[in-house]
Amino acid sequence: MSLCINPLCSQPKNPDNILFCQACGSELLLEGRYRAMQTLGEGGFGKTYEVTDARNNTLKVLKILINNQQKAVELFQREAEVLSFLNHPGIPKVEANAYFVYFPRNQAEPLHCLVMEKIEGLDLQEYIRQRQHRPIDQKLAIQWLTEIVNILQQVHSQNFFHRDIKPSNIMLRATGGLALIDFGTARQVSGTYMVKQPQGQVTGIISVGYTPQEQLNGQAIPQSDFFALGRTFVYLLTGKEPNDSAIYNSYTDEITWRNYAPQISPPLADLIDQMMARFAGNRPINTQAILQQLSAIDRPTPLYQQPLSVSQNQQLAIHEYAGFWTRVLAAFIDGIILYIVVALIGFVFGFIYAAVLQTAQGVEGIAAILGVIIGWLYYALMESSEQQATLGKQALGIIVTDIDGKKISFGRATGRHVAKWISAIILLIGYISAAFTEKKQALHDMIAGTLVIKK
């Protein structure tokens, strides 16, 4: 069956073996090669058909413009120009002469037509709808965001920007992979554009919830695409439109979406928020900056930063906590090391002090303060280092971690050292609790939230 694309045709269905519509007499074999087979969509100023190309028997998409206003025609012709200029797997392909004008029988107004690659699949708005608005996970979000940003990198590198990114303009192929469609609103960054922009002569393109403020004011720039892409991923990660009252506050013009996307990490949420920054200057400077951040987010976390699994925690509970006497011996070794170091430094300092001031009065107090500082730096720096242990602990094969088995920070190591002084001097308990607690924690470990375990 062939369809007549004349909008006024009363009986558009025709057999495949005729060249002119039986009802209105309009041509059915468009440009001598295309036959419209079925309607794919209709709305706004256009209508789309699935067509067969008689030259190679392939399926393609035919877009026709059913509104001949000058601005609509300009936008339609621009899409043909942009698609013929760009070459990327994520952008629909068009051949030379893919744009043409078609005259239905007995009509003065022509139809502007564009034939392009047919992408089998669903747009992301329909995809989420068919998933019953179930959000995507972080792994897929990173994969898709990387794909779209790579497509935008190609678009922006050719001095174009899209201006209408939203879920319905991103296609998920049935074979996997994304494609960015509908380049009718794309603009080229040129001298002419930069002159027209301040004078308010640039066409305004608005998609509610996805269009940034500068574009509403006729001042769209490449970073406007980042805003729309960020809002698109809010939709994909929450299943909610950006203007949904559940996440959008009309009084502050802000969206609070993170509570609806608990499946993603703070770094990815931070990147999306940066892309959606109200002021364009606060968004990523270019596509490469976004790709670099995505690469860092997707990089595997070092093992010492990964939370221990349940089985690992069970194993630690049974086998790997450092025992009381092991910890006392490690503390004894560290004490000897510190005594020798402080004594040597104190001797040198005392000698210099006495030589300079010609008196030894007060040197003991200063040496004591110096010893406290050296002890603090020794414990805090060593336990927060990559070794996670002082020399005494290293000698006995034990390390210091937080309660999740991760490496501790310098601040936490300092807190642990101070807690050790408090528990030893004020409470006179020190390591004694390590002999009785389930996780072999001394009092200072309980205060600091740390564990001492075997490597």
234 and 257 Cβ atoms separated by less than 8 Å: yes
Phi and psi for 73 in degrees, rounded to 5? Answer: -65, -40
Rounded-to-integer distance, Cα 340 and Cα 342, Å: 6
Dihedral over Cα of 313, 316, 318, 324: its sign: negative
* The one-letter amino acid at 45: F
| Of 63, 67, 58, nearest in space to 83 by CA | 63
Contacts of 204 (CB under 8 A, 6+ apart): 215, 216, 218
137 is a catalytic site residue: no
Rounded-to-integer distance, Cα 284 and Cα 15, Å: 54
Strand (E) or helix (H) holding 119:
none
271 and 294 Cβ atoms separated by less than 8 Å: yes
Tokens 């976004």 sit on residue:
290
307 and 315 Cβ atoms separated by less than 8 Å: no
Q: Residue 321 carries which DSSP code? A: B
Phi and psi for 197 in degrees, rounded to 5? Answer: -55, -50
| Of 119, 114, 28, 123, nearest in space to 63 by CA | 114
260 and 197 Cβ atoms separated by less than 8 Å: no
Rounded-to-integer distance, Cα 147 and Cα 292, Å: 13
Strand (E) or helix (H) holding 263:
none
Tokens 């501790």 sit on residue:
408
Rounded-to-integer distance, Cα 314 and Cα 99, Å: 67
Give bridge partners of residue 100 from the DSSP assignment.
113
What letters, b where the CB count within 10 A reaches 16 and e where it falls short, cover 354-388? eeeeeeeeebeeebeeebeeebeebbbebbbeeeb
Query: Which tokens is 27 given?
Result: 């041509």
90 and 151 Cβ atoms separated by less than 8 Å: yes
- Of the candidates 53, 123, 137, 164, the residue annotated as catalytic is 164
Residues recognised as catalytic:
164
